[in-house]
Amino acid sequence: MTENPADSNPLMTGRNQSLFPQACTIVIFGGAGDLSRRKLIPALYNLALDGLLPTQFAVIGFAIDEMSDDAFRDFAREGIERFSRRELSEEDWLDFAEHLFYQQGEFSEASAYATLRMRLDEIEPRFGISGNRLYYLAIPPSLIDTCVFGLRDAGLVAPPDQDLPFTRLVVEKPIGRDLPSALAVNQSLQSCFAEHQLYRIDHYLGKETVQNILAMRFGNSIFEPLWNSKYIDHVQITVAEAEGVGTRAGYFETAGALRDMVQNHILQLLSLVAMEPPWSMRADVIRDRRLDLLQCLRPLRIDEVERHVVRAQYSSGFFHGKNAPGYRRENGVAADSTTETFVALRLFIDNWRWAGVPIYIRTGKAMPKRVSEVAVQFKAVPHMLFNTDTDHPLEPNVLALRIQPDEGLSLRIGSKLPGPKVKIYPVKMDFRYGSTFGDQSPEAYERLLLDVMAGDATLFMRDDAVEASWNWIQPILDAWEASGERWLPEYPAGSWGPIEADRLIDADGCAWRQL
């Protein structure tokens, strides 16, 4: 492990080079849980292997489970062996494990926070940590208030006007389940922490190809001049999951696809795709531009929702070589559930750049494959020269940004087929991270944890952005509640969604991309 990260490391590319991870203690609330085992601890281990963690760090798992330090290290090792993108190295593991500790405690008991404080005071001097602390809330949303008030009352939050030692709090989605509850969560957070101490995490923003959107747009002069309503016909965003709800039925029944995917992941992705050029790479400048975009989304009136939004549930089907049950037959799902597993939307951005350009969004579970893509379709060339046959027009140019899997981008253009006749055929220019750069891209949580330790909030959601996205989503929720629908349209498991979604985009003379 080294103290200063190498400038050549991909995780450092594009960041403010004056920001480096600082010595700190990372306290994972819910440290014995699934997120800690699958994502957080493997991410920290990979950062250590890459020499990006400071030598002065400690990790404390804090949860209600009874567990010793050694048992927590065994738990962490098992998670690394199963879920890390890098294989476990015995020598590196022994070095890393020395920094792992565990503290048992009930989140609702003041004595647990007093004990945590004593444990921090005991561990930090061993590693020369001067009180910098990062609290990661890997817990259900219902416990956020309990934990932030517990930290505040125990004196574990540094004053907001104090630079060092710092206190930073990472909060996982969802931030609320509607606009009023999101406002309440933000109010609770801000009663204990200043906004600059808060890092609302959306792991989608940490994905390499999502970060590459800004580089593609503003680092290449061939794209930005065309990035407007004069040249772009429409934009499609697809986030498809191959699995059904599985073991997450309890959570998903209270959320649904709109809350789970659109309100956070997809609207944040759209804000990067469509925002105005920032004048600096500073965190608040980028976040201001993203907020501007969210505030330009054309509001939907309740009576307009049915024309612009489609929701559906997957039904039984033959999927991945076996019969799959419908959503209402999944364990933990109510037999009369009206929770949507699929949603498709048509929206507009009311500003000069995007005036009149439709944005089509679809996301769902139990679809043919796992894929996330942003596709920008350019306007057709005039019906002359190579595009004279109106019955068989040329295929349009499409720039497709693949978020997962096979991260990269492709550009579809028309090219003349070899031979004496002039015949135009669509060809694809393709770039893939794996084949071009060789190494596997870092996991999203690696980048995001590194940024929190460095104090770089660029890829995190600010309170006003969370509230702006819920403000746009709220009329859809209100319309659905007012409708009183007892049965939603269905689509067979393993298909691309209901016929109603096709009709939504067909009405504008467009079609969903075949992925």
- Residue 199 falls within a domain, yes or no? no
User: Residues 350, 284: one domain?
Assistant: yes
CATH number, domain of 79, equals: 3.40.50.720
User: Residues 219, 344: one domain?
Assistant: yes
Share of the chain above pLDDT 90, in %: 69
Residue 483's Cβ-side half-sphere holds a number of Cα atoms within 13 Å equal to 17
Taking the C-alpha atoms of residue 332 and residue 246, their distance in angstroms, rounded to an integer, is 9
User: Residues 227, 338: one domain?
Assistant: yes
Whether the CB-CB separation of 266 and 237 falls below 8 Å is answered with yes
Catalytic pick from 196, 234, 265, 392?
A: 265
Taking the C-alpha atoms of residue 297 and residue 358, their distance in angstroms, rounded to an integer, is 11
CATH number, domain of 465, equals: 3.30.360.10
User: Residues 159, 243: one domain?
Assistant: no
pLDDT class of 2 with cuts at 50, 70, 90: very low
Dihedral in degrees, nearest 10, Cα atoms 89, 132, 157, 460: -70
Please tell me the predicted confidence (pLDDT) of residue 7.
43
Q: Is the pLDDT of residue 302 over 70?
A: yes
Please tell me the predicted confidence (pLDDT) of residue 311.
97
296: left (phi over 0), alpha (psi -120 to 50) or beta: alpha
Q: Give the residue numbers of the binding site for substrate.
A: 203, 207, 241, 260, 365
Mean pLDDT in residue range 442-449: 90
User: Residues 139, 225: one domain?
Assistant: no
User: Residues 218, 107: one domain?
Assistant: no
Tokens of 8: 């050549």
Q: Is the pLDDT of residue 439 over 90?
A: no
User: Residues 210, 359: one domain?
Assistant: yes
Mean pLDDT in residue range 116-136: 96
- Residue 186 falls within a domain, yes or no? no
User: Residues 137, 242: one domain?
Assistant: no
Tokens of 130: 């001067």
Taking the C-alpha atoms of residue 112 and residue 110, their distance in angstroms, rounded to an integer, is 5
Please tell me the predicted confidence (pLDDT) of residue 388.
57
Residue 26, H or E segment = strand 24-29
Mean pLDDT, the chain, rounded, equals 89
Q: Is the pLDDT of residue 494 over 50?
A: yes
CA distances from 286 to 113, 130, 458 (A): 36, 31, 6
Eight-state DSSP code of residue 412: E
pLDDT class of 55 with cuts at 50, 70, 90: confident
pLDDT class of 128 with cuts at 50, 70, 90: very high
Please tell me the predicted confidence (pLDDT) of residue 406.
81
Active site residue 392: no
User: Residues 164, 243: one domain?
Assistant: no
User: Residues 157, 34: one domain?
Assistant: yes
- Residue 196 falls within a domain, yes or no? no
User: Residues 160, 34: one domain?
Assistant: yes
Taking the C-alpha atoms of residue 492 and residue 498, their distance in angstroms, rounded to an integer, is 8
Please tell me the predicted confidence (pLDDT) of residue 251.
86
Q: How many domains does the structure of the chain reveal?
A: 2
CA distances from 15 to 18, 284, 351, 451 (A): 8, 13, 29, 9
Residue ranges making up the domain that contains 331: 206-381+461-506
Q: What is this structure's pTM? A: 0.90
Q: Give the residue numbers of the binding site for NADP(+).
A: 106-107, 173
